[in-house]
Amino acid sequence: SKQWYQRRVRGLVDVKGMADRIIGMRSALKAGLAREGSSLNWDHLTNQIGMFCFTGMSPEQVARLTAEFSVYLTKDGRISVAGVSSRNVDYLAHAMHTVTK
């Protein structure tokens, strides 16, 4: 039916919007790390896809990120990109740079 088709198109547009936002946040985080002066290669942040991202940080760096900056992620360094926003991406970049330099 026409209504089903319209709902389907709206749903696909919504999913595309979410995917684009996550891609944008990955790029913004990588750019923020560069602005912070990080000399590490963060290409893996933008080469991955999906809502979660392996940062490459060690369990010790993750522990510091949580203790010093109240940033929570898995011990193996996996972060939810869905939780990154234009309001917190610079803070996250600063925190990640601080614990990885």
pLDDT tens for the chain, 101 residues long, are 888 888 888 887 788 888 899 999 999 999 999 999 999 999 999 999 888 999 999 999 999 999 999 999 999 999 999 999 999 999 999 999 999 99
**Which token pair is 89?**
């991406």
pLDDT computed for residue 33 by the predictor: 98
Answer for the pair 27, 85: CB distance below 8 angstroms, yes or no: no
**Cβ–Cβ under 8 Å, residues 54 and 76:** yes
Question: Is-above-0.85 flag for pTM?
Answer: yes
Supply 23's token pair.
């891609």
pLDDT for residue 4 = 86
Q: What is the pLDDT of residue 63?
A: 98
